[in-house]
Structure 1
Amino acid sequence: MRAWSGQWRPGEGFGEPLPAWDGPSTLVLVFASPAVIADDTPPDPGGPLAGLLEAYPASVVMGCSTAGEILGGTIDDATVSVAVAQFASTRLRLLTGPIGGGTDSAAVGRDLAARLVAAEPDLAGVFVLSDGLRANGAQLAQGLSDGCAGTAVITGGLAGDGDRFDHTWVLVDGRPRTGMVSVLGLSGPHVRVGHGAGGGWSILGPERLVTRAEGNVVHELDGQPALTLYRSYLGDRMGDTAASTLMFPLSVRAPEGRQGAVVRTVQALDESAQSLVFTGDVPQGSIARLLRANTGELVDGAGEAVRRADLVPGLPTLALVVSCVGRRAVLGQRTEDELEMVMSRLPADVHLAGFYSYGEISPIGEHTSGLLNQTLTVTTIQETAA
């Protein structure tokens, strides 16, 4: 395997020639600002997407819109970050399908994963990119886990749209389309897919039972109205908007503890119902706990993600970072610090690209991946000698 990463900037292009590695064993990942590549439109003949499709007509091209583009230890807006990997023996298979608009996200995930498993008996990893506004990310992750039945590591994320939350897209046959999901299968005995997730959040207060919830709406915690409890506990630290709760997300875990806890961010406050709307599902009967952090702890948490990725020293490495738009909002001017922390923990010759997302997908337990929020995730791809 050999890898390359680069970035397209307005008025500058890619700055260096794209590697001439076109072929069915080449993967091209595209993470683009929606201001540069618009949804549901053909590629601009003079734009970055058209240039990539021209350079890699026979390759597997996958991508999505972002809430910030990552390349190495930097984050940018209004750019396109690209990673290219050419494999020696690893097989690539890309499947896409509609999601949202009445479709069952769990069923879509199960179907796509089952198709990958049926076609690739030695499936090692699945990387997923989904529309970030129409999909139920928690159900999609569960469906993918059910369909893979423990045969592969499942990672990825939900496409972003900056801080607008208006339109997100995923590449399908070289065209950016809303309401779609794409899953990439990496198969073969020599591919290694590592993963890690880091938060940096610390516990604030006691565990609480989710006594009434529907999907991503929590009505009651410990039998009390959820919004009332949040306000009584946080006091002056909580304002009148969801943005005021960014530093205080919720940790959610199943009561039996078979899966790790996931982080959920408050998306909206419902004053009339005194309920909280979160960015992912919070099952009734689960155990919840308030979290808090300072920026230094969040940066340290990003480094922890790399430690868990279990890299093989000495092999060429492609590292894909998917971090939460909520973390970017909390970290502010220190956002690049978490990326620099990630880079400091990786081999010097690693190629790193990725994006800020509307939700991260990563393993949360044995044979199960879930939707995370306020978390930085790392997927590492390596290939051992045949």
Structure 2
Amino acid sequence: MKVNQAIRGAGENQWTFTKTGTLKKPLVLIFGDRFLLESHTVLDEVRALYPDGDLIFGTTSGEILGPHVFEESITLTAIELEKTTYKIVRANVKEYAAVETLGNALAQQLPKKNLKHIFIVSEGSFVNGSGLINGFNQIQDSTTPITGGLCGDGARFERTLASYNENPKEGEVIAVGFYGDTLEVSYANFGGWHSFGPQRSITKSEGNILFEIDGKPALDLYKMYLGDKADQLPQAALLYPLSVQTGAEEPLTRTILNIDEDTNSMILAGDVPEGAKVQLMMSSTNDIAEAAHKAATLAMRNRKKAPELALLVSCVGRKLVLAGRTEEEIEEVLDVVGEQAAISGFYSYGEMAPFSGKNNCLLHNQTMTLTLISE
């Protein structure tokens, strides 16, 4: 595997390369600030660097490159896979009546023979990430793991963009299927958030829209707990996500993407089924940094080879808690995976990965999710 990496800040005309070399037909991951990726020239700009590359774009809530976290920048990671093949498929949520159907359609386009892993870069501002994953899981062999993330838009929650070989636009979902006998992919996620307050029951919901908790309007109840911070919704919700417990499975953390004052409801990044138990959650800087270390340790467990590429998808809520210490969680990852790995990734509105040791993908929020790849 050969890797190039570069970054360009807002107002800059030149790319600064941190890893260089000549690549043939690379897979190029371009993560950047939404305002920069809205430029109609961004595709031509990257295409000039990699005329024969497959270009995947996604907006972020912060860009990860090497040991650093950036804002208002565009990062690129170009990868030449020497022993592995891949297939890229795309669709737009506007083309399908349900996001599950979109997930089905993309999964059906990926040949199953020797498929080792799927990595997804998805629209993040209005898609139900759980539904998208469910669509994939209905078609794909359950032994094929899926990781990836929902695109971000800072803490603005206005709109996200993604694309494959075209200028970034709204509603896009891109999936990369990796194939090869020598390919080794491991993954893990960990949050570091802790539940507090009374445990309550979801009494009315529809997919990822939460209407009632304990028979009371969900938004009213949530605002009561936030107090003065309620005026800062939906951004304030990133600091106080929800723990959602369904049956005996491990609880999932759910971030609130938006609120609807008219219906007194909250729109979350993933499903919140009726009957599930919910609690508020909170975290600290140390908890989040330690969780990143834990995620990396789980991802490295039982690996045969050192990772050559580490794709990191972390949540915008973690970034807000860490504030000026954001790079600490990247440093924790590097301490475990080693400096030989090229680090790339972004801060997201939702992370996709199975729990460690399992294959069935789930949507997570407020986690550090790693995908470690080597050939």
- Settle same-fold status: TM greater than 0.5: yes
Is 1:308 the counterpart of 2:298? The answer is yes
Q: What 5-or-longer segments of structure 2 have no aligned partner?
A: none
Residues 241-265 of structure 1: per-residue CA shift (max 9 Å, x gap) = 43444332111132242xx322112
Is 1:21 the counterpart of 2:13? The answer is no
Report the alpha carbon displacement of residue 224 of structure 1 after superposing the two structures with TM: 4.0
Q: What is aligned with 2:119?
A: 127
Report the alpha carbon displacement of residue 307 of structure 1 after superposing the two structures with TM: 1.2
Residues 103-138 of structure 1: per-residue CA shift (max 9 Å, x gap) = 31111112211221xx24111110111112242212
Q: What 5-or-longer segments of structure 1 have no aligned partner?
A: none
2:366 is aligned, of 350, 374, 383, to: 374
Q: Is the 8 A contact 2:27 2:79 kept in 1?
A: yes
CA distance in 2, matches of 1:75, 1:275: 33
Report the alpha carbon displacement of residue 60 of structure 1 after superposing the two structures with TM: 2.6
Q: Please tell me the residue identity of whatever aligns with 2:37.
A: I
Q: Is the 8 A contact 1:101 1:179 kept in 2?
A: no
Q: What is aligned with 2:167?
A: 175
CA change 1:95–1:246 in 2 (3 A) is closer
CA distance in 2, matches of 1:275, 1:316: 43
CA distance in 1, matches of 2:229, 2:8: 40
CA distance in 2, matches of 1:181, 1:241: 30
CA distance in 2, matches of 1:315, 1:235: 44
Report the alpha carbon displacement of residue 181 of structure 1 after superposing the two structures with TM: 0.9
Q: Please tell me the residue identity of whatever aligns with 2:36.
A: V
Is 1:98 the counterpart of 2:92? The answer is yes
Q: What is aligned with 1:30?
A: 30
Q: What is aligned with 1:281?
A: 271
Q: Please tell me the residue identity of whatever aligns with 2:73.
A: T
CA distance in 1, matches of 2:215, 2:159: 37
CA change 1:67–1:376 in 2 (3 A) is same
Q: Is the 8 A contact 1:170 1:177 kept in 2?
A: yes
Q: Please tell me the residue identity of whatever aligns with 2:345.
A: G
Q: What is aligned with 2:102?
A: 108
Is 1:73 the counterpart of 2:73? The answer is no
Residues 120-175 of structure 1: per-residue CA shift (max 9 Å, x gap) = 41111101111122422121111122221313110111122223333322122233
Question: SS at the partner of 2:340?
Answer: coil
Residues 320-346 of structure 1: per-residue CA shift (max 9 Å, x gap) = 111112222222222222222222222
- Count how many residue pairs are aligned between Structure 1 and Structure 2: 370
CA distance in 1, matches of 2:113, 2:259: 46
Q: Is the 8 A contact 2:128 2:270 kept in 1?
A: yes
Q: Please tell me the residue identity of whatever aligns with 2:80.
A: Q
CA change 1:139–1:72 in 2 (3 A) is same
2:51 is aligned, of 40, 46, 57, to: 57
Q: What is aligned with 1:262?
A: 252
CA change 1:367–1:346 in 2 (3 A) is closer
C-alpha RMSD of the superposition: 2.5
Q: What is aligned with 1:249?
A: 241
- Please, what TM-score do these two structures have when normalized by structure 2? 0.89
CA distance in 2, matches of 1:270, 1:130: 23
CA distance in 1, matches of 2:298, 2:105: 29
CA change 1:222–1:134 in 2 (3 A) is closer
Q: What is aligned with 2:212?
A: 220
Q: Is the 8 A contact 2:32 2:58 kept in 1?
A: yes
Q: Please tell me the residue identity of whatever aligns with 1:71.
A: L
Residues 62-114 of structure 1: per-residue CA shift (max 9 Å, x gap) = 22111211112211122221112222221110011111476311111122112
Q: How does 1:272-351 map to 2 (within 5 A)?
A: 275-310=265-300, 312=303, 315-351=306-342
Q: Is the 8 A contact 1:95 1:184 kept in 2?
A: yes
Q: Please tell me the residue identity of whatever aligns with 2:46.
A: L
Is 1:188 the counterpart of 2:180? The answer is yes
Question: SS at the partner of 1:345?
Answer: helix
Is 1:138 the counterpart of 2:150? The answer is no
Q: Is the 8 A contact 2:119 2:147 kept in 1?
A: yes
Worse-superposed segment, 4-13 or 157-166: 4-13
Q: Is the 8 A contact 2:311 2:344 kept in 1?
A: yes
Question: SS at the partner of 2:361?
Answer: strand
Q: Is the 8 A contact 1:128 1:154 kept in 2?
A: yes
CA change 1:33–1:230 in 2 (3 A) is closer
Q: Is the 8 A contact 1:245 1:266 kept in 2?
A: yes
Q: Please tell me the residue identity of whatever aligns with 1:14.
A: W
CA distance in 1, matches of 2:87, 2:258: 38
Question: SS at the partner of 2:281?
Answer: strand
Report the alpha carbon displacement of residue 230 of structure 1 after superposing the two structures with TM: 4.0
Report the alpha carbon displacement of residue 14 of structure 1 after superposing the two structures with TM: 2.4
Residues 257-285 of structure 1: per-residue CA shift (max 9 Å, x gap) = 2xx32211234455675544433321112
CA change 1:176–1:248 in 2 (3 A) is closer
Give aligned-pair identity as a percent.
32
CA change 1:95–1:124 in 2 (3 A) is same
CA distance in 1, matches of 2:184, 2:21: 23
